[in-house]
Amino acid sequence: MSNKKFLLLFVFLIAQPIWVFSIGEDLLNSKTLLGLAGGFTSMFKKFPRREIEVEKVLGKWFQMYRAAVNLDQFQSTMYCHVAYFRENKVMGKDGFSIIEAFRTASKDGPVHTYKRDLSKSNTGEYWMFTEDYFYPRQFFVFDVGPIVNNSYEYIIITDANRISLSVYARDPAMFHKMYDAQVTDVLNKGGFGGYAFWNRPVAIYQGLDCVYTEEKEIFIRRSLKQAIQDKSTEASQILNNARQLRYVLNFPPANWKFCATLETVVKTA
């Protein structure tokens, strides 16, 4: 079924004057359901992508908002998020990488690190390659803030259907003072939140007591993590080889004639 036919069927069903019971909520009438339909249809409305100058997006950022529904397990509970955008020529013209760190569970919780590599595909559109997915994800520029000291003050990122949401700012305190209301208005008018509850902007804790992870520390943490994974893989391979050798050594002598290779291995052992 095409997206258009599916959308028409969805609107037809929810437009009927029916009442639906919802656990812990009041009754949902047809007006509310129509509102949900409007939020759903907004996913298919195109929006203009904003072109960015890569040199103005490089540097240190703090993520201020995320979408209410986030499929990434760790990124649904972020505190004190910091990100570093760095040029990456391997990803082609205007390509760059993002390394980030944030705390999970609480502002004093464990540090989690992440890396993304981005390749430009069109105006304001990038394919984002991450270590947690086997396929690229969309990184579309919805809006950018004013330029101060040759850098954008904030940047709003989403995907083609506006399901995901990331709002980055150069300085949390300045953002709340100068741009928060403006960004909130842009998001409300742009189809984020309201009946489209899944992409409702949710603030990420960026308090004055946040202790941010420096870029060098992120690199060290990621290097150690990779080294541990490599050792774990090597240990698993050694254990697997030991199990295979144990099986060979316990192979019944009566069956050696059926496997010349095993006979050679056992006699050698």
Render pLDDT for 94-128 as a digit per residue (tens, 0 to 9). 999 999 999 998 999 999 998 999 999 999 999 99
**Domain at 75, CATH number:** 2.40.128.20
Residue 86: the pLDDT is 98
Residue 70: the pLDDT is 76
Evaluate whether residue 49 is within a structural domain: no
| pLDDT above 80: residue 201 | yes
Among 83, 11, 79, CA closest to 40? 11
**Is the four-CA dihedral 143, 147, 148, 151 of positive or negative sign?**
positive
Spatial separation of the C-alpha atoms in residues 133 and 149, rounded to whole Å: 35
Q: Are residues 85 and 138 in the same domain?
A: yes
Evaluate whether residue 60 is within a structural domain: yes
Evaluate whether residue 239 is within a structural domain: yes
What number is the average pLDDT over the span 185-204? 89
Sequence-ordered alpha helix ranges (H) in 102-202: 172-174, 180-189
Residue 269: the pLDDT is 45
Q: How many domains does the chain have?
A: 3
Evaluate whether residue 83 is within a structural domain: yes
Q: Are residues 199 and 102 in the same domain?
A: yes
Q: Are residues 88 and 161 in the same domain?
A: yes
Spatial separation of the C-alpha atoms in residues 252 and 177, rounded to whole Å: 78
Q: Residue 215 class from Cβ within 10 Å (0-12 exposed, 13-18 middle, 19+ buried)? A: middle
Record the pTM. Answer: 0.71
Q: Are residues 128 and 94 in the same domain?
A: yes
Query: What's the domain range around 142?
Result: 54-213
Residue 204's contacts (CB-CB under 8 Å, 6 or more residues apart) are 63, 64, 65, 66, 78, 79, 81, 102
Residue 223: the pLDDT is 84
The token duo for 84 is 């570093």
Residue 268: the pLDDT is 42
Evaluate whether residue 222 is within a structural domain: yes
Last residue of some domain: 198, 213, 228?
A: 213
- Quote the strand ranges of the chain, DSSP E: 59-67, 78-87, 96-104, 111-122, 125-130, 137-144, 147-148, 151-152, 154-158, 166-169, 201-203
Evaluate whether residue 107 is within a structural domain: yes
Strand, coil or helix: 231: helix
Q: Are residues 63 and 166 in the same domain?
A: yes
Q: Are residues 224 and 93 in the same domain?
A: no
The rounded mean pLDDT for the chain is 79
Ranges 11-15, 61-65, 195-199: which has the least confidence: 11-15
Spatial separation of the C-alpha atoms in residues 9 and 26, rounded to whole Å: 25
Q: Are residues 170 and 71 in the same domain?
A: yes
